[in-house]
Every structure is written in C-alpha cells, then in structure tokens.
Structure 1
Amino acid sequence: MRPWALVTWLANADTIRVFKMNKKEDGSNSFQPLADDFPKKHKAPVINIGIAETGKFIMSVSSDTTIIIWTLKGEVLSIINTNQMNNTYAVISPCSRFVGSCGFTPDAKVWEICFSKSGQFREVARAFELKGHTAGIHFLAFSSDSCRMATVSKDGKWKLWATDVDYKQQQDPYLLLTGLYDEAAIMPCILALSPDAQVLALASSNNIRLFNTKRGEEEENFHKVHGECVAEMTFDTTGRFLASCGDRVVRVFHNTTGQRAIVEEIRGLLKRGPTETTRQRLNQQLVQAQANLKRLGAAKV
C-alpha cells in the first residue's frame, strides 16, 4: 500500500495529529496536517501509536489500561480495557488483523480488529493470550507474517511463540523457545523480531543483544550504541539490517545473525535430499549468504 499519511502523537498538546501526504508539482512530497486533531480521549500519557498497513484504523495505547481504535479521521471505533493494571506496550500486527498488548500482568493479550468484506468496522474480539511468563511483560513484537510473536518479561526471560492458530476453533498459541535475558529483571527493555522470526534483538539501557531463535543463543552484543537508552528498534523489511534510535541518532547494523541463520537453514534443507533443481538453487543461495558473511567479516560461516 502506498503511504499517504503520517500519524504523530503531540506530547505537549496531548493529542494525535495526522499529516496527509500531497504530491507537489516538482514530483516531491509534502505533508500537511488535517484540519482537526483527534479528540482527547486518553486519561494517561500515550506510550505508542500505530497505523494499520491496510489503512483501515489507527491504534493508540496509554500507560493506564486503555487502547483506542480510531478511524483515520479521528472517530473512535472501539475502546479496549486491557485489565493489565497498567500497559507497557501495544502494537498492530503487520497483517493489520491484530493488536497485541502487554503490561503489569504476566500474560500478553491479543485482539482481532474485525471488518466486514465491504470494509466496514464490525467489532474488536478477544483472540488469544500468551501465557507462560511469571512477571509483567516489558515488550512484545510480531513477525512480518504475524505467525510468530516474541515477548520479554521482568522474569528475566524472552519467549518465542507460534501464533498461526485458529483461535476461533479454541486453538491456543504454543511456546517454541525460551531464552534468558537477565537485564530484563532489573530494568525496562524493548525488543524487535526479524521479518522471518529467526533473529530476536533485545535492548536495555544503551546496549543491544541479538539472539538466534532456533537455539536461543546470543550471537551479537553491541555496547553503548547510544548516549541514552535505546528508544526503539526495528528490522528492515528484508531482515538484512537492524535500526535503533536514541539520543536523536539513528544507527543501522548489519544483521549478521540473520545471515548465519540463513546458512544454517539452507544446509538443513540440503541434507533432506532435494531434487537436483532445488539443490542447485539452494547451493546458489548458500554461496550468496556465505559471501555476505565474508564481506561483513563475520565469523561462523
């Protein structure tokens, strides 16, 4: 979908403002604010906002227990009470179907934002919960296809979940892997999940660690990447790069952990005895991935 709007939270004005993208005569783009800001509905500070990839709705979450689903014009579609005592984070899934939230309680909650075939909003329905942590959850993230989710908790652990389930048939998400992240027990932290869910990035203070989600092993550790705490992280759509922001600076890292995961996956596929055509294609991909690692000066190729 071609981007057409920029959604912002104005802390001083305590409101959401949408800027519409306009094409200029010289071919460049400019952003102009819509006539009216969103009404002030939150009673606590907003901690995250997001816009669905489909462009059908906007989500805002505040630090109490409130999530609001809006139209792009600022009309309230639904107000969700998470019942988590307080929210620490909420996010829209890349498929635009779900909103996931976490907070003081040890369970992450996911809702489905339901629209009719004609595009009319119908309801917000409870989809499923991720149960297994023993303390409040700092942060959660989806993979690009929304089939995997990751959480990190005050219990000092991170977890990877399979969420490609039919919850309407009473199927529950299931745990794939649990890893250790001691920093989470003593300070707030954030995470990012690579598009293919093969790499988990965790940040606390101004340090970032990258984990392989097949074995739960830490493979990269970047110290003091910002002068202040890491405020946000994200992988690009290809999974080749990880970007972090903090202290008004954005830093971009090569995802060598992801390249190693690709090598490992291809080698596993080759051991299964594929057809000759498939073998040739896999070998080409393997050579390319190994060349990328060599170019980056990464070990374990």
Structure 2
Amino acid sequence: MASNIAQNSAKDVLDAGEGNDQFFSAVVVTLALGAVIGLLMLVCGFGTSGRATGSAEQDENAQKTENKSKKSKSNQQGKRQQKQPGKRANQTTFSHAYLASTLKEHSSNVLDIDFSINGKYLASCAEDRTVRVWSVKEFREREHKCLRGNVEYDHATKIKFSPDCKAFITSLCTGNNIRVFKLAKKEDGTSSTITASLDFPKKHTSDIINIGLGSHAHGSFVMTAYKDTTIHIWDVKGDILQTIDTHHMSNNYAAVSPCGRFVASCGFTPDVKVWEVVFDKEGNFSDVKRVMDLKGHRASVYYFSFNVDSTRMATVSKDTTWKLWDTNVEYNKNQDPYLLLTGNYDHTGPSMLALSPDAHSLAIAAGSKIWVFDSATGEEKETFEDVHTQPITKIGFDSSNKFLVSCGDRHIRVFHNVVGYRSNIASMEKKIKSSTTNKSQKERLESQIAQMRDCLAEVLGEKPEGSKA
C-alpha cells in the first residue's frame, strides 16, 4: 500500500515536472514567436518608414524638378520676350527725308566699307564671312544687286580698294593678317568674280585696327596699323619694307592718304603724325620720312580724314572738338599745317569722322548717331538719330560728293549729301561776288550753281527754280 502510494506520488511528481516543462516550453515558444513577430513588425515598420521617407524625398525632388522646369521655361520665355524687341528693332525700317537707299544683302553686322577711287563701286565686308561689291549708280534704284565673294575659314574686318579698282585687300579677324582679292570678268564676259589671290604672313601679335593701299608715280605699298604703336609698310608681294613706331602709347587710327603718298596716325596723344613713303625714280623703296604733325587738340585724337587730293585734313578728339586743317604746305621746308576751323560736337566718347572729297562737308559718327557739318562755317546742319541698331562701324563719302554712307548692323545706309550740295552752292556764290572773278568764270559758276540747284531740288522732291508750277 505504502509502496503504491509512493509510486503514485513519484508519478505525480514526474507528471508535474513534465507539465512544468511543457509550460516552460510553451512560454519560451510564445516569447520566441512574440520576439519574431515584434522583429517582423519593426522591420516592416522601418521599411514602411523608409519607403515613406524615400517617397517624401522623391516627391520633394520631383517638386524641385518641376519648379526648376517652370523657372527654366519662365526664363526662356523672358529671354524670348527680351530678344523680341531687339529683333523687332533690327527689322524696323529706318526712314529719313535724306535717305536714298538701304543695302541689305549681308546677313551679319557690316564691319567696314570703302569706295573705289573711280567712284563706281562700294566694297563691304561683314561677320557673315562674305565681301561684297555694289554699284554706286544703282544706289537710287529699288533693287540693289551686288557681287559676292567668300572669306574662307575667317571673316574680314577691314576692306580697301586698290588704286586701279581691280582688286581690294582685307584684314582677317582670326588670322590677323592681310588677304588680297582680285576682281575679274568670267571667260564668257557675262559677269565678274571675286577670287582670293594672296595671303600676307602674320608678323605681329597685336590686333590690326586699319589697313591701306598707297600708289603714286614711283611706287606702291600696303599699310597695316596695329592696336599698340606699330605700323608696317609692305610691298605688294607681302614683304615688310619698314616698321614705324608711332609713339602714341596706343594707336586709335591710321590711314593712307588718297593721293597715295602719305601715312598718318593718331592715338592716345593729342596730335596726328604724318609720314611720306618715298620711292626712287626706278620704283624702288627708299624711306619713310616724318613730314608734318597736326597739333592743337587738348586730348586724345580719335580719328582723322583726308579730302581727295590730301590738301585738307579733318580731326576729331576726346576734347569734343573737330578741326579742319590746310595740309597743302611746303613740308620739305618745315612748314606746318594751318588750322582753318574748329567746331564742336555733343559727344565725349570714341567717335569717327569723314571729310567729303571736296572738303565742303564733314560727318562725325558715334554710337548710332551721325552729325553733319558745313566745313566752311563749322555749323551743324543735320543730325541722323538711331541710324543703325548696332554702333556705327564706318562712315564715308563717295568720290562725287553726292552720298554719305554708313554701316553698323547688317544694313548699309545711303544718304543724300544735302549739306554738301548747299555748302558747294554757297561757296560758288561767294566766288561770283569776288572782285577777282572774271566774266567767263562767273558764267561757268552760275551754270554749275543752276545744275546743283536742280540736283538738290530732285533729291528733296521740290520743283527746280525757274520751272513752271
């Protein structure tokens, strides 16, 4: 009995132990499952948070991208709006009572123009890598044909006709050297062509500011003027004959005189220096001699211009004055040029100037504005405002004194030289009243005055004097 009780007690104890073990095992399993579930929840929670954060960042980035896109579009629209007025301004038709015509074939800014000495042609060069030759007799026509030549791998910045009008030289922007072009008839004789024939070597690092061709009875030469104080005198084959140091501190402008004998320069100093290029009787280069100085300005001289026979020069300065000089002097006897007249103009910045071939009228250009003066009285007679949408790059008179031409944007403006007509008439009327004028001279002058009045009336759209209403 006792034995059975003991066995039952032991069995209960064992059963109780097994129950406890099962209980503990269940607790452990439960805890383990809880831990696993908790970890899964944490992992899921962190994943969701990460996805939420990533989504927020993506949304933020998307918003930023959208904002940038909107801003970019807005800027582009703004730029288009800013460009459109300029484009419209470039397309705006300039008009003036004295405007004879506008030459429009260039597709980029025209940088330089030059009239042939025979008065038949105008040459132009532009950033569109072309050079063009225009007929002066067609200036008043509605259509303007031109001869086109291409500037390979570069564009021309300056252009100058040869004295025989069968060629011209250009300065190249990138090459910073001279390129010669020839004008020739096609074999069938139907039209002319422009062909590049020679490149001068590059001999200087400073930029070319102007070029010129000189030719007279004893010899011919080419001039290149640079931005520093250097001027090169070349032979027509591209060899340097002599180098000039202008001592201006820096050059503003330099040119060869129309008579082909002189080279002049101006710069930071308040004077203009003139040299003569000398050849012997056999045509061999001899020397470059300093022959005269034009002194009288109080500040830097920006520009100068000769009349057709180099007996007159005009200068324009930072001191806001222009001056007309008599250069028909005996410079071999150290005679200095005579100052004939000083005029004023309303501008303080860089300017350029053109003296008409007969020296009766003078034009100054600055920015997009042109002033025209009577060079006999110094009076400002005409002003042209907003002639171009870009700063004017060149002005000049044709050899007949009938036209004043300017360039700046892709157009070339041709004006009637009304001031020149009137100044000429006044000059001839003054000569008629002179006691030294004989009868035959007076009759000739009266005839010339009548012809000039008729031309002026035609230009202004008026009826000539003496005509019936």
* TM-score range for the pair, normalised by the shorter chain length: over 0.9
The corresponding residue for 2:172 is 10
Q: Extract structure 1 runs of 4+ deviating beyond 6 A.
A: none
Q: CA RMSD in A?
A: 1.7
Deviation at 1:120? 1.0
Matched, 1:112 2:280: no
Judged with a 3 Å threshold, the aligned counterparts in structure 2 of structure 1 residues 139 and 294 are, in CA distance, closer, same or farther, namely: same
The corresponding residue for 2:351 is 189
Q: Distance in 2 between matches of 1:17 and 1:235?
A: 25
What are the within-5 Å matches in structure 2 for residues 24-173 of structure 1?
A: 24-27=186-189, 28-35=191-198, 37-54=199-216, 56-173=220-337
Secondary structure of the structure 1 residue equivalent to 2:276 = strand
| Larger Cα-atom Rg | 2
Q: Distance in 2 between matches of 1:26 and 1:40?
A: 37
Q: Distance in 2 between matches of 1:203 and 1:233?
A: 7
Q: 1:256, 1:298 within 8 Å by CA — same for their partners in 2?
A: no
Deviation at 1:285? 1.4
Deviation at 1:53? 4.5
Instruction: Kindly provide the amino acid, as one letter, of the partner of residue 227 in structure 2.
Output: S
More helix by share: 2
Secondary structure of the structure 1 residue equivalent to 2:220 = coil
Q: Count the aligned residue pairs.
A: 297
Secondary structure of the structure 2 residue equivalent to 1:3 = coil
Instruction: Kindly provide the amino acid, as one letter, of the partner of residue 43 in structure 1.
Output: T
The corresponding residue for 1:278 is 441
Secondary structure of the structure 1 residue equivalent to 2:454 = helix
Q: Distance in 2 between matches of 1:22 and 1:298?
A: 39
Q: Distance in 2 between matches of 1:260 and 1:219?
A: 10
Instruction: Kindly provide the amino acid, as one letter, of the partner of residue 62 in structure 1.
Output: Y
Q: 1:22, 1:29 within 8 Å by CA — same for their partners in 2?
A: yes
Q: 2:215, 2:261 within 8 Å by CA — same for their partners in 1?
A: no
The corresponding residue for 1:254 is 416
Deviation at 1:34? 2.7
Q: 2:305, 2:315 within 8 Å by CA — same for their partners in 1?
A: yes
Instruction: Kindly provide the amino acid, as one letter, of the partner of residue 397 in structure 2.
Output: F
Q: Distance in 1 between matches of 2:322 and 2:278?
A: 29
Q: 2:274, 2:293 within 8 Å by CA — same for their partners in 1?
A: yes
TM-score by length of 2: 0.61
TM-score by length of 1: 0.94
44-53 vs 26-35, greater mean Cα deviation: 26-35
Deviation at 1:130? 0.3
Identity, % of aligned positions: 47
Q: 2:175, 2:202 within 8 Å by CA — same for their partners in 1?
A: no
Deviation at 1:84? 0.2
Unaligned runs of at least 5 residues, structure 1? none
Q: 1:207, 1:222 within 8 Å by CA — same for their partners in 2?
A: yes
Unaligned runs of at least 5 residues, structure 2? 1-162
The corresponding residue for 1:291 is 454
More strand by share: 1
Q: Distance in 2 between matches of 1:31 and 1:70?
A: 23
Q: Distance in 2 between matches of 1:23 and 1:288?
A: 36
Deviation at 1:295? 2.3
Matched, 1:233 2:392: no
132-141 vs 38-47, greater mean Cα deviation: 38-47
Deviations 1:133-186 (A, max 9, x none): 010000011010100000000001000000011111010101000000231x2x
Q: 2:363, 2:371 within 8 Å by CA — same for their partners in 1?
A: yes
The corresponding residue for 2:430 is 268
